[in-house]
Amino acid sequence: MAANRKILSLPGDGIGPEVMRQVNRVVEWFDKKRIASFDVTEDLVGGAAFDKYGTPLAEETMRRAMESDAVLFGAVGGPKWDNLPFAQKPERGLLRLRKDMDLFANLRPALVFDPLIGASTLKPEVIEGLDILIIRELTGGTYFGEPRGITTLPDGTRRGVNTQVYTTPEIVRVGRVAFELARKRHNKVCSVEKANVMESGVLWREEMQKLHDTEYKDVELSHMYADNCAMQLVRNPKQFDVIVTDNLFGDLLSDCAAMLTGSLGMLPSASLGAADSSGRRKALYEPVHGSAPDIAGKDAANPLACLLSFAMMLRYSFDMKEEADLVQRAVKAALESGARTGDILQPGMARVSTTQMGDAVLKALEKLC
């Protein structure tokens, strides 16, 4: 089939390549079934890119990312590169992609699949049917704020600085994404900051409220301090629909939300830029989990977060809702068949490898199609 959907695949380090391989198999399946074709190019990022090019993201890779319809990302980092200078660390490759593609809205849905209810450390009634969406601001705040750095003081001691900073447009554009998506869900947005101790939090709260009052009165808006939100996420997560928060709080709260679903290995994400005049957005899709060096290369990682990130790509970049639902249903069916990677293993279930989990998803796709 003619392929005009340009995807740049960046498997990265650690378990990245292993989980991405399962996505490639699903891409091939879509092609074979003549459902959809994708023009996939693969390149290096993170430590793998450093080893080959001396930088965690080569200029040519950055250029390709800018030209693609969507970037699929695995994971970066590992002990081998831990002691590199800051600018060459694998994580800088990912942060540069986010910043230069201006991917300010990071969507992290935490969805509990019924077969996995028992895999969560929380009581079944607390998480059954859970479906929340964390929207994390991704190109501002502490991650990119200036001044930053480590300096040596006259007395020989050192000083490390990072800056939390947000402007009105940065808050409003991510707020808008939250309100728009809430309208397609349960119409509730909870905006999270620390307005009790931070000026940037006061501004965040005021701008969110103003945006709500002028453009989104139909959506229910509440505000919460980030520490309370962390507590509420484990106490009663079903009170939330959409949570919108800054870059650093979003990093923390999304890991917390991920564990509600049983494992970090289940959580996908989409990072989106602004829509251009033709409605097209730059976009990057990645599992929320990291490179898991301890199990890398052992065919033991859970590929479902990466497969669900691929489903998000179908939904948000290519408007392929049915196909996205199909992948999601196949993941659910694979879990129902009893397949479990180590991270979601439950008594009485079969422990499968990364490849075997891919097999289970492909088998389910065949059945559902």
How do 131-137 and 39-42 pair as beta strands? unpaired
Q: Is 194 a catalytic residue?
A: yes
Q: Could you say which residues in the range 126-145 bind ligand IPM, by CB under 6 A?
A: none
220 binds, among ligand IPM, Mg ion, none (CB under 5 to 8 A by kind): none
Taking the C-alpha atoms of 125, 126, 132 and 136 in order, what is their torsion angle to the nearest 10 degrees? -160
**Nearest distance, CB of residue 138 and Mg ion, angstroms:** 11
Q: Is 276 a catalytic residue?
A: no
The site for ligand IPM, by CB under 6 A, has a size of 6
Q: Are 62 and 71 in contact (CB under 8 A)?
A: no
Sign, Cα dihedral of 20, 66, 325, 270 = positive
Q: Could you say which residues in the range 208-267 bind ligand IPM, by CB under 6 A?
A: 251
Q: Is 31 a catalytic residue?
A: no
Those residues with Cβ within 8 angstroms of residue 215's Cβ, 6 or more apart along the chain or in another chain: 176, 179
Q: Could you say which residues in the range 72-91 bind ligand IPM, by CB under 6 A?
A: 91
User: Is residue 94 within the footprint of ligand IPM (CB under 6 A)?
Assistant: yes
Both tokens of residue 301? 């990682």
Sign, Cα dihedral of 255, 259, 265, 267 = negative
C-alpha distances (whole Å) from 176 to each of 83, 169, 214, 348 are: 39, 10, 11, 45
- Catalytic residue, candidates 251, 282, 316, 332: 251
**Nearest distance, CB of residue 251 and ligand IPM, angstroms:** 5
**Nearest distance, CB of residue 277 and ligand IPM, angstroms:** 30
Q: Is 100 a catalytic residue?
A: no
User: Is residue 251 within the footprint of Mg ion (CB under 5 A)?
Assistant: yes
Q: Report the interface residues with Mg ion, using CB under 5 A.
A: 251
Q: Report the interface residues with ligand IPM, using CB under 6 A.
A: 91, 94-95, 251, 288, 290
Residues designated catalytic = 143, 194, 227, 251, 255
